[in-house]
Amino acid sequence: MSVLVFVEGFNGEIKKSSLEAATYGYQVAQQLGTSATAVAIGEVHEEALAKLGEQGISKVLYDADSRLNNFVADAYVKVIAKAAQQENAKVLVFSNSNIGAAVGAKLAVRLNGSLATNVTTLPKTDGGFIVTRSVFSGKAFAEVNLTSDVKIIAVKKNALEIANAGSGPATVEKFSADLTDADFAAAPKETIMQDTSGGVLLTEAEIVVSGGRGLKGPENWHLVEDLAKALGAATACSKPVADLDWRPHHEHVGQTGIAVSPNLYIAIGISGAIQHLAGVNSSKVIVVINKDPEAPFFKAADYGIVGDAFDVVPKLIEAARGLDK
Amino acid sequence: MKILVCISNVPDTTSKINFTGDNKSFDKNGVQFVINPWDEYALTRAIELKEAKGGTVTVLNVGEADAEPNIRKALAIGADDAIRVNADPKDAFFVAQQIAAIAKQNNYDMILMGKESIDYNGSQVHNMVGEMLGIPSIVPASKLDLIDDSTARLEREIEGGKEVVEVKLPFVASAQQPMSEPRIPNMRGIMTARTKPLQVVEPVAGETKADYVSFSKPEKKGGVKMIDAENAGELITLLRNEAKVL
């Protein structure tokens, strides 16, 4: 038996969240006294795959079929299921991304496995296989016992640190499943990538700068963008801002938007309704800037500034630009 | 067009979350339940498609009798009929099996639900149902339109962008903003909902694969450290030297 980790690429490099999944996979393999193999699909640099050895991955199965450069659930499931079978994998590890959660759910049916998404801890393996997952929109944790022979885990982003296991490079082996046209029936017609503020994906970002209605209009968004740029952060917004079309919906974080869990979340002009908190409460450090000292968000913050965004944010930008990298 | 919309009955977004019985179960005491907000996007879009193209919208809930007020609410918003599978929705796999069983009997053209439920946040059921039925699942979809009677065009959110997918019916899709603008039931809807059919069926044999053992709550934060707006730049220094996040 072995542990199999699915790693995702972005612009040819491996996503940070997948390095976290690789770390998780290696640590589970250590617990179980076995090795961790990775499977990668589509456009990823082979050097990046070999570097997974740093996270403790011994071997990478790589399917470079260019039809897989875009995510196609059925085709991805087939490749990963074949890899799982070949490696006799009993634990499959994904990042809790749209892709990881989707493929995980389909594999749970196909491999008759138990699935836990949003996982925040390594398993407890005495008397079961118990992992902790984030539930109730970050307001609670649940311990779940995965009872099937095959366990599938989607690891919550930024829940554990990427660890360097110090091994040599992983061997990269070419791999392919016998894909047919039917596997591409729901393939995307078209892919539209957004301008991701200096290449930082919101869901992968370690720092997020987010703006609310306190910024008064889309013409003032340069404050959010300039601070984000100075900090190497991604930008986000509150629900009212997306509803008013000041910013696109894919930037909306909150209960019915995207949930983020960065190391640092900076909220500018956001009052902190409970629905907004539900999307950001797993952030490690929260900074709130609001001119209303009664804004509920201050109760959930680690650092706060009561003041007008138009006075405060330029000072932050200046200070951030002055930091030595 | 026959559309199935799956809804779950979840604690209101503003609920305080507590647990009882040695932290082994969710404490429903004093909690207001609502239709899962993500499911409302699916429900509203289904009703819009029905209004434009004709057909029926059936609402399905796998849950106990206490979900019925919210099933009636879905009927009041505009669904035509409802099915409740009378079972405790113990885990995603079990729920997906129940939905798949209902779908097999009824040949729906599309099966819609929210991208996830705001209680267990699993985001599993839609893809499991698609896989069990052997039909595509488009998750999460932010737009859904019919091109003709047999083809739909959807937009799927991916990290860093979106994809346009054209797919033959039947399929499963999960909804997220901005697929639709949820509606509030009007008085006429509430009156007619009382007499719309709500069928209660017993579950098919299913299995659970993830047992919830216990719950806990995150540790409380240590309190907020305030920085004077005049010296706002000080924040950046604290974030680097004290919080160590820069």
pLDDT digits (tens, 9 = 90+) for B126-140: 999 999 999 999 999
Mean pLDDT (chain A) is 94
The answer to whether residue A283 scores a pLDDT higher than 60 is yes
Structure tokens at A99: 């892709």
Report the C-alpha gap between A184 and A177 in whole angstroms: 13
Strand A140-146 and strand A151-155: the pairing is: unpaired
Count of Cβ atoms closer than 10 Å to residue A184 Cβ? 15
Each residue's pLDDT tens digit, A218-228: 999 999 999 99
Which ipTM score applies to this complex?
A: 0.94
Report the C-alpha gap between A287 and A303 in whole angstroms: 5
Structure tokens at B55: 């057909």
Each residue's pLDDT tens digit, B5-64: 999 999 998 899 999 999 999 999 999 999 999 999 999 999 999 999 999 999 999 999
Instruction: Give the pLDDT of residue A198.
Output: 58
Strand B210-216 and strand A140-146: the pairing is: antiparallel
The answer to whether residue A18 scores a pLDDT higher than 60 is yes
Instruction: Give the pLDDT of residue B157.
Output: 82
> Nearest 10 degrees: CA dihedral of A100, A106, A109, A114?
10
Q: Is A272 annotated as a binding residue?
A: yes
DSSP string, A138-207: GTEEEEEEE-SSSEEEEEPTTSS--------PPEEEE------GGGGTT-EEEEEE---GGG--GGG-SE
Instruction: Give the pLDDT of residue B32.
Output: 97
Interface test with A, best of B90, B150, B158 (most A CBs within 10 A): B158
CATH 3.40.50.1220 fits A197-321, yes or no: yes
Nearest to A150 by CA among A79, A235, A66, A85: A85
Each residue's pLDDT tens digit, A297-324: 999 999 999 999 999 999 999 999 998 7
- Chain B CB contacts of A134 under 8 Å are 121
Are A109 and B96 inside 8 Å of each other by CB?
yes
The answer to whether A1 touches A31, Cβ cutoff 8 Å, is no
pLDDT grade for B142, boundaries at 50, 70 and 90: very high
The answer to whether residue A263 scores a pLDDT higher than 90 is yes
- pLDDT-wise least confident of A185-189, B14-18, B81-85: A185-189
Report the C-alpha gap between B61 and B153 in whole angstroms: 26
B87 Cα to chain A: minimum distance (Å):
20
Q: Is A145 annotated as a binding residue?
A: no
Of B123, B214, B232, the CB nearest to A143: B214
Mean pLDDT of A107-129: 96
Nearest to B87 by CA among B105, B101, B77, B103: B101
Instruction: Give the pLDDT of residue B220.
Output: 83
- Chain B CB contacts of A207 under 8 Å are 245-246
Instruction: Give the pLDDT of residue B158.
Output: 81
Strand B2-6 and strand B9-11: the pairing is: unpaired
- pLDDT-wise least confident of A90-99, A251-260, B91-100: A251-260
Q: For B80, list phi and psi in degrees, rounded to 5.
A: -90, -40
Report the C-alpha gap between A29 and A8 in whole angstroms: 20
Q: For A208, list phi and psi in degrees, rounded to 5.
A: -125, 130
Instruction: Give the pLDDT of residue A325.
Output: 67
A104 Cα to chain B: minimum distance (Å):
8
- Chain B CB contacts of A144 under 8 Å are 210-213
Q: Do domains A2-184 and A197-321 have the same CATH topology?
A: yes
Domain ranges of chain A: 2-184, 197-321
pLDDT grade for A167, boundaries at 50, 70 and 90: confident
The DSSP element (H or E) to which A28 belongs, if any, is helix A16-32
Mean pLDDT of A159-163: 93
From the candidate CATH numbers 1.20.1600.10, 1.20.1250.20, 3.40.50.620, 3.40.309.10, the one assigned to the domain spanning A2-184:
3.40.50.620
pLDDT grade for A35, boundaries at 50, 70 and 90: very high
- Chain B CB contacts of A81 under 8 Å are none
Q: Is A269 annotated as a binding residue?
A: yes
Q: Is A14 annotated as a binding residue?
A: no
- Structural domains of chain B ordered from first start: 2-218 (3.40.50.620)
Cα B241 from chain centroid? 42
Mean pLDDT (chain B) is 95
B175 Cα to chain A: minimum distance (Å):
10
- pLDDT-wise least confident of A30-39, A198-207, A238-247, B183-192: A198-207
pLDDT grade for A197, boundaries at 50, 70 and 90: low
- pLDDT-wise least confident of A34-43, A65-74, A115-124, A133-142: A65-74
Report the C-alpha gap between B240 and B246 in whole angstroms: 5
Are A188 and B227 inside 8 Å of each other by CB?
no
B160 Cα to chain A: minimum distance (Å):
6
